[in-house]
Amino acid sequence: MCGIFGVWNRDGQPVDLVKMQSAVSDLYHRGPDDEGYLMVNSGTAKIQPYAGRDTIPNLNLPFLETALGQPYDLALGFRRLSILDLSRTGHQPMANQDGSRWIVFNGEIYNYIEVREELINLGCTFHSNSDTEVILAAYDHWGPECLNHFNGMWAFAIWDVRQKTLFCARDRFGIKPFYYICQGSTFAFASEIKALLKFTSARANLSLLVDYLVIGALDYDPAETLFDAVYSLPAGHWMLVGLDNHPPVSRPYWNLEQYLGQASSPLSDEKASNQLLELLESSIALRLRSDVPVGSSLSGGLDSSSIVCLVNQRLRQANGGSNSIQHVVSAIYENPIVDERSWIKTVVDQTGVQAHYVFPSADGLAADLEGMIWNHDLPTGGSSSFAQWCVCREAQNQGLTVMLDGQGSDEIFGGYESSVAFYAAGLLEKGYIIPALRELRGWQQRNEFSLKHTMVQTLQKTRIWNKINGFRRNHLINKKFPDYLHPNLRNVSLPKTTTYLVNNLPPGKNHLSAALLRLMAVTSLPAILRRLDRNSMAFSVETRVPYLDYRLVEFAFQLSEHEKVQKGWTKYILRNSVEGIVPDAIRWRRDKKGFPTPEAEWYHDPAVFNIFKEILFSDSSRKRGWLDLDVVKESMTAFEQGKPSLSPGLLWRWVDCELWARIFSVS
C-alpha cells in the first residue's frame, strides 16, 4: 500500500523538481517506510533512480537534489507502506529484468504467489518476493491482459522505455485511487488530488458541487471529480499515455454486467450457500497474506462479524486448535440509539478476540474536522466518516498495519432494506402477485412496518412510478433549485445526477439486479471505497475488503434475486452460508444500524456548532458565494432551537463544502 505520483512534460520541458518533490511529500502518510524517485529524459532514454530523505539505507542512490538542472521531462515518485517483502528488494520505482519498464504501484495483488508460479512455469525469473515484481513480469508477458490475472486492489503506472508510453491501470472496483490531469502537453497522476494541485489550479466543478449540495451525490461520475481539471481513472479501466498531446482515452477490461444472471443452472439453496462460503473463505485466506500484523473492523453487523468469525476459525485451524489472538477495533457510543456494543460483545465472547474500542465524540469531531477533510481531498460525505477515521487511528495505535473490513457486502447481496422493495416490485410487474405479497409480509413483520409503508416503498420501485417521478424530479431539480443555494449556483444544470437517479431501472433488467449494479458502479460503492481509502491511509493503515474479491462478486451477480432476498430478509444466502460460524443472534438481527453516529447530538454540541457557524459565515464563505447565507442563518437558528427545519445531513454538506474550499483555496 503506497502513494504514487508521476508527471510527464510531453513537449520535452524539464520537470519542476521542487513541485514534484513537494507533491510526493503530500503523500507521506500513505507510505512512511520508504521514498523513491525515477527521473527520465524521454527523448534520450536517459534514466536515473534517485533517493529522498526517507529512502531506505544501502541502496546507494544519489539524492534527488543532485538532479537539479538536468533535462528530465518525466518523473515518477513513490512513498511506501511496507506490507509484503519488507526488504530493500521491494523498493520502488522498480524495473523489470532488462530495465525496459519501470513501475510505481499502490495496492496489493493477493494472488501474487499463484501468478508468480504461473510465470515461472513460462520461463520468467524473479529476484524478490514482492507482488510489484509480479506485475512487471505479467505485463511483460501478457500486456494489458495481465489485469485479468490479478486478484486484488491496485493503481499503477508503468513507463515503457522503448515505446515511450505510460500504461496506467486501476482495479476492477476502484478500491485504490488514481487521479490525473492532462493540460496541454503535461500529464500528471497521483494517489491523492492534493499532490496534483501543485501542477493545476483548484477550481470547483460547479455541476458536481450542486449535485452534492442538493442531494449528496459526489461520486456518481466515474471520471470527473469536484475539482474541475482533475479526473479519475474509472474502476476496471486502463489507459495508455503517449507522446502526442491528445487526452488519454481509458478502456474497460472488466464489466460486472456481463455476469448478471449467467449461472449455467440454478443451484439449490444449500449448494449456493456452500459455494459462497468457500469463496468467502478463499478470499479471506488471500487477504491474510501479510508480513505485518492484520486486524479487523467489527461493527456488530452480519458482514464484519462473518469476517471476524471466519478469520478466527482459520487462525485456530492453523494453530492446531489453539487460539492465535485476532485483534478487532470497534466504535461505540453512550447513545443507545446508535450503540452496537451488545452485538459486538456477542462476537467477542464467542471468538475470544482482543477487542479495542474507540468513542467518537463531538469534541473529537471538532478537533479533527479540518485534518480529516485535508486527508480526504474532497467533502467527506457524512459524520460516519469520522467514526471510521477513529477506528483507523486506533488500528495504528495498536500496531495493526492491515485491517479487514466488511464493505461491499450490502451492494452484492442486497443488504439494504430497499432491496426487498426492489425485489417485490419486480415480482409484481411480472405478475407474480402471491410471491410478491409473501415477501412484503415477511418484510413488514421483520421490521414492524405498517402495511402502507411497505406498499408505498414497493410501488416507488416500479418502472411506471419511476417514469412519473423521473419527470417530476427533472422538472423540480432543473427548474426550482433549493433556496439555500446562492443565485450564482442556480443556473448550473444537473444532467449527470438526474440521469443516474431517474434512469435507475435499465430496460430488460430485473429490478433488484439493476439496483445492485447501480449501487456497485454509481450511487454507493465508489463513495464508500473513497472514504475507506482516505480514512485508513491517513493513519498509514491498509484496509482490505474480502467481499470485493472479484470471484465472489461475479458469483453473487450470477445468482437469482430469490437467493439474495427471501421471506423479507436481505442477504439471505450470506445468512445461510455462515450458519454455525456466526452467532444466530447476529445472523438474524432485525435492527442492524449500518454505521451510524449520533450526528444530531454532535451538531447541537456548542464545540461543533460554533465551528460550523464560523465556517459558514466567514468572509471567505461570503466571497465564494455558494450558499445564500441569509437562508442558512435562518435554518441554523431553527436547528439550534430544536426545530425540525434542517436535517443534520444537509447541515453537514454545507460545512463540508465550505471547509473543503477553504483548505484547498478552491475558487
DSSP secondary structure letter of residue 64: G
- Cβ 342 vs Cβ 301: under 8 Å: no
- Mean pLDDT of the region 563-568: 93
pLDDT over threshold 70, residue 520 = yes
The beta-carbon contacts of 612-616 under 8 Å, at least 24 apart in sequence, are 612/636, 612/651, 612/655, 615/655, 615/658, 615/659, 615/662, 616/654, 616/655, 616/658
Cα–Cα distance, 108 to 287 (Å, whole number) = 9
pLDDT at 173: 98
pTM, rounded to two decimals:
0.95
> Quick one: what percent of the chain has pLDDT higher than 90?
76
Would you state the torsion angle of the CA atoms of residues 273, 275, 277, 283, taken in this order, to the nearest 10 degrees? -150
What confidence tens digit (pLDDT) does each residue in 295-344 have? 999 999 999 999 999 999 999 887 765 557 899 999 999 999 999 999 99
Nearest to 411 by CA among 224, 235, 650: 235
pLDDT over threshold 50, residue 208 = yes
Q: Which residue has the cell 482459520?
A: 314
Q: Which residue has the cell 467518537?
A: 360
Question: 341 φ, ψ to 5°?
Answer: -65, -30
pLDDT at 452: 72
pLDDT at 451: 66
Does 449 or 11 have the greater pLDDT score? 11
Domains and CATH numbers, the chain: 2-254 (3.60.20.10), 258-412+525-587 (3.40.50.620), 417-523 (no CATH), 599-663 (no CATH)
pLDDT at 662: 97
pLDDT at 461: 72
pLDDT at 437: 87
- Mean pLDDT of the region 76-94: 93
Beta bridge partners of 295: 403
Distances (CA, A) of 498 to 221, 304, 480, 581: 12, 33, 14, 43
Would you state the torsion angle of the CA atoms of residues 78, 81, 82, 88, taken in this order, to the nearest 10 degrees? 30
What confidence tens digit (pLDDT) does each residue in 342-395 have? 999 999 999 999 999 999 999 999 999 999 999 999 999 899 999 999 999 999
Burial grade of 121 (CB within 10 A; 0-12, 13-18, 19 or more): exposed
Nearest to 225 by CA among 173, 185, 189, 257: 189
pLDDT over threshold 80, residue 496 = no
Amino acid (one-letter) located at 101 = R
Helix axes 629-640, 606-616, angle to 10 degrees: 170
Q: Which residues contact 586 (CB under 8 A, 6 or more apart)?
A: 300, 301, 302, 305, 343, 346, 347
Distances (CA, A) of 273 to 280, 296, 411: 11, 23, 18
- Mean pLDDT of the region 17-31: 97
What confidence tens digit (pLDDT) does each residue in 528-552 have? 999 999 999 999 999 999 999 999 9
pLDDT over threshold 80, residue 139 = yes
pLDDT at 493: 65
Of 43-52, 143-152, 434-443, 575-584, the one with minimum mean pLDDT is: 434-443
pLDDT at 286: 97
Cα–Cα distance, 391 to 355 (Å, whole number) = 12
What confidence tens digit (pLDDT) does each residue in 399-458 have? 999 999 999 999 999 999 889 988 988 898 888 989 988 988 888 888 777 767 777 777
Grid coordinates representing 70?
A: 538536468
pLDDT over threshold 60, residue 88 = yes
> Quick one: what percent of the chain has pLDDT higher than 70?
93
pLDDT at 460: 73
